[in-house]
Amino acid sequence: MTNRVADDPRIDPRIRKMFAKAPPTLLPNVESREELLSLAGQSADRSLDTAAFDPAPYEAFSPADGLAISTRQVTSQPDGNSINLQFIVPEGEGGWPCVYYMHGGGMMMGSCFDPMFSAWGRLVAANGVAVAMVDFRNAVMPSSAPGIAPYPAGLDDCVSGLRWVHDNAAELGIDPRRVVIAGESGGANLTLATAMRLKRDGALGLIAGIFVMCPYLAGEWTGEEGSSALENAGILMDARSNYGAVAYGIEQLHSRNPLAWPAFASEEDVAGLPPVIINVNECDPLRDDGVNFYRLLLRAGVTTRCRIIMGTVHATEVMGLACPEISRSTARELAQFCADG
């Protein structure tokens, strides 16, 4: 499949220029997780464009001035494994509202310490909130957390990190009454799954809100006529393969587990969640995942709103360098949502 970014007139010209020569991510269909891991070992480049992980332009775009940045080690349950949190807080007296953030990468790859994600965390924190970015176990390529594992490892790590943040709120200088969970793409999957896990555990009081961008929720897409999976196939990626489902948990897909694949959530699963904001991108194969979940939340009586950002591709908000004003605007919106509690 050719790269459709360069030729699609809907897409912001700056994005077209940035990705004009990048091939779309075409993940193959695979027979087993073992085959998938073999293929992943042959091509371990995590980025569409290696320049996306050069720290210098991200440090210039989102400097650390006025921020204190540290790494905290957390023991995750029930496995007892170690994970890291990148903690970014404005310099000052404390009592900050806190965004607990889960990075994208299809639950398969990436790290919150990658320059693009670190820059995004700084951009949010610069608006007067603390940001705790969890580096959970990926399903295919390791983050800073040792090892790889499919569902529920990443979700367990995200929930454990959130509980640690609450337990250490006083030392961290955050207001435990104003903690919102957030994430993009695979991180949005984990964000919504974390909320539903908290509901099942009777612990929804740990979060004041949920903010997700371009969520990756369904696990499989047939490319039906009129769907975003078909309309936007080849714009950065093509979602129509079983690669992600096999990587994270094909058994969970077959059993329709909403904690692995939130597209299977029922009204009962989401009823009672705190306020939710969903951002989706016009030219994203996964656009319908977010829109459909928004409609589910409305039916369940959850306070929610959804915004479609025109002219953008998957995860434009977090890229930073592509459309800076969109990134800054979304960072401000997330920080304000968090501050409002």
Residue 284 annotated to the active site: yes
Amino acid letter for position 143: S
Please tell me which residue in 118, 160, 228, 314 is annotated as part of the active site.
314
Residue 255 annotated to the active site: no
Closest CA relative to residue 65, chosen from 47, 95, 39, 91: 91
If you write DSSP's letter for every residue of 200-251 in order, what string do you get? HTT-GGG-SEEEEES----S-----TT-HHHHTTTBSB---SSHHHHHH-HH
Residues 6+ apart with CB under 8 A from 81: 75, 137, 145, 146, 147, 157
Residue count of the chain, please give it: 341
Residue 314 annotated to the active site: yes
HSE toward the beta carbon, residue 286, CA cutoff 13 A: 30
How far is residue 275's CA from residue 294's CA, in Å, rounded to a whole number? 11
How far is residue 137's CA from residue 154's CA, in Å, rounded to a whole number? 5
305 contacts 275 by C-beta, under 8 angstroms: no
Please tell me which residue in 185, 238, 289, 327 is annotated as part of the active site.
185
From the DSSP assignment, how many helices (H) and strands (E) are in the chain?
14, 8
Please tell me which residue in 156, 175, 284, 289 is annotated as part of the active site.
284
Residues noted as catalytic: 185, 284, 314
